[in-house]
Structure 1
Amino acid sequence: MLAIAIGIAMSVLDAAVANIALPAIAAEFHASPAESIWVVNAYQLAVVMGLLPLASLGERVGYRRVYLWGLAIFTLGSVACALSQNMPTLIVARVGQGLGAAGVFAVNGALVRFTYPGALLGRGVGLNAFVVSVASAVGPSVAAAILAVGPWQWLFAINAPFGIVNFVIGYRALPHSDRGGRPFDLISATLNALAFGLFFVGADAVTHGEGTMTLALAEVIAAFLALAALVRRESKLDAPLIPVDLMRIPIFALSVATSICSFTAQSLALVAMPFYFELTLGRSQVETGLLMTPWPVAVGVAAPIAGRLSDRIPAAILGFVGLAGLAIGMVLLARLPLDARFVDIAWPMALSGAGFGFFQAPNNRTLLSSAPRRRAGAAGGMLATARVTGLAAGATLVALFFRVAPTRAEPIALMVGAGFAIVAAFASLTRLAKR
């Protein structure tokens, strides 16, 4: 579990710290904001395009092997980022980093399942959720501390010693799993990369108004065509890359839908709130950082508790209670007065975070345990894909709201996020009838 925790913490932290370093990177390489944002986008795209193929590869060659190779590629990519001398080189290095992170994300759920006995699986999933929330919470602070004493290259170079140590721990400790005899489906992997890659590039262009609208819409349409071809191909296979076989299991499908909706709700809030605090409520950057802290801290406190409870109480009930709390907290945040005090903001933020944490670990446990053990890799890959898809969808919606209603974008985003949380709550409760 230490090996799993260090790897996933490094991957989550690296997604967060790059945002803080963008101004310094753009200044050093004399790049425009539109060019520098690809330092973030390249990493995210590589992750989302690699998750399901690498989860499928884990079922064939072993989850341990994919995790260790992913960790090694991530570490080498970090070194390449630190040594980059221009923007194109840095973006290519970030793609390599993202592919390595995808290997870590894709199989970490399966490795948790092979580490913990079934009766204690909720504890392992809760610990995993705790690590993710803490890494997300401290990411900006860690980046700020490193940049206070050194150049932006240090943000990437620091991964090298941690990656080497974690590789040694993982090589000695990570569990072995059975390997499938089927060859890797390269055609499906290519269609998967086209579907996810074209969709997120096109959606980002539409919401930000970059390039021609015709080209952006063509990319989105091409993404749906690739997805349709992929699903049609996968429906004929015994162990498909896109787990259409698992989506026929009602509890698994409902858990995936709940996860996507809930992460979309959280992303809507966490992307919109900094603008809300600074532009609408007039808070400083330091105050904004403090006001954002209660959410991930509450997630970190609630997730392990909910994970333990999920070994005894149905996730459908725990998820409904948590998501109802998330919806209430987001509605309260959307209705804050302009003269709101710190405590008036902090407790709805904590309520939202605790609600999300109370949902996340039980839902993840149910999603992983509802799949056959031989398909643990596909279940873990789908878990990570649902998370990334929800986060990307929320960020895209916030960008769209800023484009169509710039003066009311933040409250709209929060209310829409509350709506997603309510939908997720009832999707979670529906699982009681499917047990």
Structure 2
Amino acid sequence: MRLFETRPGDDGLPGRERLLAVLALITGTLMAVVDTTMINLALPTIAADLDIPGSRAVWITNLFQVVCAAFLLVFAGLSELVTRRRLYLVGLSTFVLAALGAALSRNLETLLVFRALQGLGAAATLSIGPSIYRAIFPSRLLGSALGLSALVVAGGYAAGPTLSGVILSFADWPWLFALNVPLGVISLWLAKRALPRESPRQGSFDILGALLSMLMLASFFLAMDAVGHAAPLWQSGGWLVTAIMSCAGFIRRQRRAPYPLLPLSVFAEKRFTLAVSASGLAFIGQGLSFVALSFFYQEQMGFSPLETAWLFTPWPLAIMVVGPLAGRLADRINPSVLSSTGLLLLMIGLISLGLVDENTGVAGSLWRTALCGIGFGLFQPPNNREMMASLPPERSANVSGVMSTTRTVGQSLGVALVGAALALGLAVQLTLWLGALTTLLSLAASLARVPLAREANRARRASSQPS
């Protein structure tokens, strides 16, 4: 395969070691993504078995997500001191052991403890995953590598609900967690053998910045969750104020810290900043679309939860097909052009979904969802490549942390917007139009960096020519 061919002058790992390292990343990422989607579908079953109300059962998912979101930037910064390889191995080990603990849990309190530990392990692996791809693959294949990453994530989202349904049809819910144990052992063996070794950075760790980062991201997620569940204004407002104040403190700290958790100088690179903006706005559109369509298909069109899951399937399947192709093309042509084209298709797809009514058949819903998936698949890998390639390799861990955090924040905000619309009694389809609007703004940010990317390509070609 082209991804595992070694050419003279290649950076990264040799072909065979590259393959083993990628297999370790694939299994680790799949576990984290599939785990989330599987457990979401199993919450009613778990609630009934543990004899708890649904309002408490949702914290089996919420706690995992809050902990994971809170530690993304922290672990990205910490990886420079302990090295990405060690952090990935510790994070993966924590996730697997916590999955075993969750499988053995027989009450909600114990299960929540292990779910928090799973979130901690997932944060360690997901926060640095993209930067490890950059360390594994040569620069000429960076887009293709990130396209492979997009395929893995989309495959996890597509397979999770179906796998959960299959397992629950003949086994109890603890087996959903136990499934991670053998996969985790394999992934750990591969990671320990193949992930590249590197020297740690000298210097101190920004402990105050880490604490402010955790408070900022955790309180933001809780604020968005409160909005999404129509919680009292004092509750959502309190968390939001906490998030804003801790964000201000975090920025102030990063400007003064000798070894900042997230060097703000990375945002001086316009290509990086525009790519981050485009990513966040696009994930808002994706996050609200998934939730809005779930309500619309079930409450207004009368589909069952399983039928609704199948109606969503074209979106991740399209990403699985288009994502690797888009990543490969991004190694050859301007990634900003590809990303902008994908955002245009995504916007058209969201507009078409906003026009769906009770008379729209299954086929009409499927092609609209597939169009969104094609657009998002064409957007994400080239945009991620822009984020990675716009900064020096030594900033890869920071870029990876920003990339993961942007995705989490964008999706959470999208879900919260749907919850707010429902709380206000607005038609759920109006949020799809809002998603189209955020995608339009994302498209504007993406188009703004097209000339910047062209200039960077010309400068790179000029510097590579012999004088």
- TM-score interval, smaller chain: over 0.9
Deviates more, 1:182-191 or 1:69-78: 182-191
Q: Secondary structure of 1:80's partner? A: helix
Matched, 1:186 2:207: yes
Q: Secondary structure of 2:261's partner? A: coil
The one of 281, 301, 322 aligned to 1:281: 301
Q: Which residue of 2 aligns with 1:375?
A: 395
8 A contact 1:264–1:392 mirrored in 2 = yes
CA distance in 1, matches of 2:294, 2:86: 39
8 A contact 2:143–2:329 mirrored in 1 = yes
CA distance in 2, matches of 1:27, 1:364: 41
8 A contact 2:227–2:419 mirrored in 1 = no
Matched, 1:57 2:49: no
Matched, 1:216 2:236: yes
* Cα deviation digits, residues 315-350 of structure 1 (max 9, x gap): 211111000000000111110132212221111111
The one of 63, 71, 85 aligned to 2:106: 85
Q: CA deviation at 1:85?
A: 1.9
Q: CA deviation at 1:247?
A: 1.3
The one of 244, 261, 266 aligned to 2:281: 261
Q: Which residue of 2 aligns with 1:336?
A: 356
Q: CA deviation at 1:106?
A: 0.8
Deviates more, 1:282-291 or 1:383-392: 282-291
8 A contact 2:205–2:261 mirrored in 1 = no
Q: Secondary structure of 2:264's partner? A: coil
Which amino acid counterpart does residue 396 of structure 1 have in structure 2? Answer: A
8 A contact 1:243–1:382 mirrored in 2 = no
8 A contact 1:278–1:288 mirrored in 2 = yes
Aligned residue runs from structure 1 range 90-101, under 5 A: 90-101=111-122
CA distance in 2, matches of 1:111, 1:268: 30
Which amino acid counterpart does residue 296 of structure 2 have in structure 1? Answer: Y
Which amino acid counterpart does residue 146 of structure 1 have in structure 2? Answer: I
Q: Which residue of 1 aligns with 2:261?
A: 241
* Cα deviation digits, residues 58-90 of structure 1 (max 9, x gap): 111111111111100000110111111211111
8 A contact 2:224–2:413 mirrored in 1 = no
Change (3 A) 1:17 1:165: same
The one of 214, 225, 237 aligned to 2:245: 225
8 A contact 1:59–1:375 mirrored in 2 = no
Q: Which residue of 2 aligns with 1:34?
A: 55
Q: Which residue of 2 aligns with 1:430?
A: 448
CA distance in 2, matches of 1:275, 1:18: 19
Q: Which residue of 2 aligns with 1:271?
A: 291
Q: Secondary structure of 2:381's partner? A: helix
Q: CA deviation at 1:239?
A: 4.4
Q: Which residue of 1 aligns with 2:6?
A: none
Q: Which residue of 1 aligns with 2:432?
A: 414
Change (3 A) 1:51 1:295: same
8 A contact 1:322–1:357 mirrored in 2 = yes
Q: Which runs of 5+ in 1 are unaligned?
A: none
* Cα deviation digits, residues 378-399 of structure 1 (max 9, x gap): 1111111111111111111111
8 A contact 1:114–1:177 mirrored in 2 = no
Q: Which residue of 2 aligns with 1:47?
A: 68
Q: Which residue of 1 aligns with 2:13?
A: none
Q: Which residue of 2 aligns with 1:12?
A: 33
Percent identical among aligned pairs is 36
The one of 337, 347, 350 aligned to 1:327: 347
Q: Which runs of 5+ in 2 are unaligned?
A: 1-21, 454-467
* Cα deviation digits, residues 344-402 of structure 1 (max 9, x gap): 11111111100000000000111011122111101111111111111111111111111
8 A contact 1:52–1:382 mirrored in 2 = yes
Q: Which residue of 2 aligns with 1:71?
A: 92
Matched, 1:154 2:172: no
CA distance in 1, matches of 2:198, 2:130: 13
CA distance in 1, matches of 2:153, 2:105: 28
Q: Which residue of 1 aligns with 2:323?
A: 303
Deviates more, 1:299-308 or 1:389-398: 389-398
8 A contact 1:48–1:388 mirrored in 2 = yes
CA distance in 1, matches of 2:223, 2:365: 35
8 A contact 1:203–1:216 mirrored in 2 = yes
Q: CA deviation at 1:186?
A: 1.6
Q: CA deviation at 1:238?
A: 5.4
Q: Which residue of 2 aligns with 1:345?
A: 365
The one of 387, 391, 399 aligned to 2:407: 387
Q: Secondary structure of 2:391's partner? A: coil
CA distance in 2, matches of 1:21, 1:374: 41
Q: CA deviation at 1:206?
A: 3.5
Aligned residues: 432
CA distance in 2, matches of 1:218, 1:274: 29
Q: Which residue of 2 aligns with 1:205?
A: 226
- RMSD, aligned CA: 1.3
Q: CA deviation at 1:290?
A: 2.1
Q: Secondary structure of 2:198's partner? A: coil
CA distance in 1, matches of 2:409, 2:236: 19
Which amino acid counterpart does residue 435 of structure 2 have in structure 1? Answer: G
Which amino acid counterpart does residue 443 of structure 2 have in structure 1? Answer: A
* Cα deviation digits, residues 152-186 of structure 1 (max 9, x gap): 10000110111111100100011123321122222
Q: Which residue of 2 aligns with 1:113?
A: 134
